[in-house]
C-alpha cells in the first residue's frame, strides 16, 4: 500500500481535534491516563501534601520538558494524571521517575509520614494503572476498513 495525500486527509478528518507533538524523527500523539496510590491506600494526600506534589510534578516537567502534564487530580488516596509521554520514553520509566521524585521529597518535608511508613520502601504502592487515550477503537476500525475503498483508485502492481 502506498500512502498518498488522500490517506492523510482521511486520517486528518477522523482525528482533527488531536494535538500532535514533534521530535527529531517522530510526530506523535501518545497520551496516557495514569493512576497510582499510596501504600495501603491510606488517605494521606491532604491538601498541603497535594499542593507539594503539584509543585514536584512541575519540577519534573522542567527537568523532562517532553513530558506534558495535561490534567492532574490529586485525591486523598490516589493521583490521576493525563500525561503525554514521547515515544522514546517508556511508561514504566516515567512512573518510576514520578514516584521516586515525589515520594522521597514528601517524606522529607512531612515528617509524620515516617511514622506511617517507617520502612525505606517509600509511600507509594508498587503498582499503577495506565490506559492509553486517543482515538477510540470504533474510529480506528472505520478508518482501516475505509482503506480498501481509498486504495481502489491506485494501480495494482505485481512483483
Give the C-alpha separation, 151 to 1, whole Å.
8
The dihedrals phi and psi of 60, each to the nearest 5 degrees, come to: -60, -40
Tens-place pLDDT, residues 67-117: 999 999 999 999 999 999 999 999 999 999 999 999 988 988 999 998 888
* Residue 121 confidence class, pLDDT cut points 50, 70, 90: confident
What grid cell was written down for 125? Answer: 504502592
Residue 135 has pLDDT above 90, yes or no: no
* Residue 17 confidence class, pLDDT cut points 50, 70, 90: low
* Residue 159 confidence class, pLDDT cut points 50, 70, 90: very low
Give the C-alpha separation, 13 to 8, whole Å.
8
CATH H-level, domain 18-151: superfamily: Transposase IS200-like (3.30.70.1290)
DSSP letter, residue 124 = B
| Least reliable range by pLDDT among 13-27, 34-48, 82-96 | 13-27
Give the chain's mean pLDDT: 82
Give the C-alpha separation, 83 to 106, whole Å.
21
* Residue 126 confidence class, pLDDT cut points 50, 70, 90: very high
pTM over 0.85: no
Residue 155 has pLDDT above 90, yes or no: no
Residue 127 has pLDDT above 80, yes or no: yes
User: What residue segments make up the domains of the chain, in order of their start?
Assistant: 18-151
Amino acid at each position: 500500500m502506498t500512502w498518498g495525500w488522500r490517506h492523510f486527509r482521511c486520517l486528518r478528518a477522523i482525528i482533527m481535534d488531536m494535538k500532535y507533538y514533534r521530535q527529531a524523527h517522530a510526530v506523535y500523539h501518545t497520551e496516557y491516563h495514569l493512576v497510582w496510590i499510596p501504600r495501603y491506600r491510606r488517605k494521606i494526600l491532604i491538601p498541603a501534601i497535594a499542593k507539594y506534589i503539584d509543585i514536584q510534578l512541575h519540577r519534573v516537567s522542567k527537568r523532562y520538558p517532553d513530558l506534558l502534564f495535561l490534567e492532574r487530580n490529586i485525591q486523598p488516596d490516589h493521583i490521576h494524571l493525563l500525561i503525554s509521554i514521547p515515544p522514546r520514553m517508556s511508561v514504566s520509566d516515567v512512573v518510576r521517575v514520578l514516584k521516586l521524585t515525589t515520594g522521597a521529597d514528601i517524606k522529607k518535608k512531612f515528617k509524620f509520614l515516617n511514622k506511617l511508613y517507617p520502612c525505606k520502601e517509600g509511600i507509594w504502592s508498587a503498582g499503577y494503572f495506565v490506559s492509553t487515550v486517543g482515538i477510540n477503537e470504533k474510529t480506528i476500525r472505520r478508518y482501516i476498513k475505509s482503506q480498501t475503498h481509498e486504495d481502489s483508485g491506485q494501480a495494482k502492481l505485481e512483483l
